[in-house]
């Protein structure tokens, strides 16, 4: 696996609704590769994770808020899924603006499951190819993306790299592709 040598990787989630395994597995994999992972949410406090979108799981301390984060300190962005997590994020103007700022700066992004919804809201998917949970493929196509049904897909188009995967079953491939993309 490539080494991330202390790169700062931001995990952006809503304060409730993130699919726990889609937060913890990439976090653990990126940290094992040498990344400094930072949990960012709209509000200070904690993030309530869920299992299977409905069962409350663990809570995680927010490291910094969207408003407090300096985008120039970010090397890459991870957008975990869960159905309600990205649905809430795409309604948060500051979170959407942060995503757009990072993409405009050419930072690599990794998004899994429903995570790409926030990218669609940020209007950055035109010309990109990606995968996701199948139920949002029409939303992503409507945002200008080409959708593929693959375990993991990395798209370098438009000056920034996007790594995507469909669901928790794809996490091993997602983490491996994320490490490779973020090491570049």
Please list the active-site residues.
113-114
Place of tokens 């790594």: 163
- How far CA 181 is from CA of 13, 31, 75, 83, 156, in Å, comes to 20, 15, 11, 25, 9
**Distance between CA 101 and CA 94 in Å, rounded?**
10
Is residue 103 within 8 A of residue 124, CB to CB? The reply is: yes
Secondary structure of residue 76 in the 3-state scheme:
strand
- Per the DSSP assignment, residues forming a β-bridge with 56 are 50
Tokens in use for 149? 């049904």
User: DSSP state, 67?
Assistant: T
Secondary structure of residue 105 in the 3-state scheme:
coil
Beta strands 8-12 and 55-61 are unpaired
């Amino acid at each position: 696996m490539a080494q991330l040598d202390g790169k700062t990787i931001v995990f952006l989630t809503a304060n409730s609704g993130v699919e726990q395994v889609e937060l913890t597995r990439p976090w653990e994999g990126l940290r094992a590769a040498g990344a400094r992972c930072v949990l960012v949410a709209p509000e200070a406090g904690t993030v309530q994770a869920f299992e299977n979108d409905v069962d409350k799981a663990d809570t995680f301390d927010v490291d910094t808020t969207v408003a407090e984060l300096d985008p120039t300190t970010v090397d890459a962005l991870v957008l975990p899924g869960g159905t309600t997590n990205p649905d809430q994020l795409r309604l948060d103007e500051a979170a959407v603006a942060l995503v757009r700022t990072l993409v405009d700066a050419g930072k690599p992004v990794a998004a899994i499951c429903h995570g790409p919804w926030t990218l669609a809201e940020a209007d950055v998917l035109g010309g990109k190819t990606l995968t996701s949970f199948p139920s949002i493929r029409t939303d992503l196509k409507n945002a200008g993306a080409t959708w593929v049904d693959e375990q993991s897909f990395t798209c370098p188009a438009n000056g920034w790299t996007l790594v995507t995967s469909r669901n928790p079953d794809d996490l091993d491939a997602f983490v491996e592709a994320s490490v490779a993309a973020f090491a570049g």
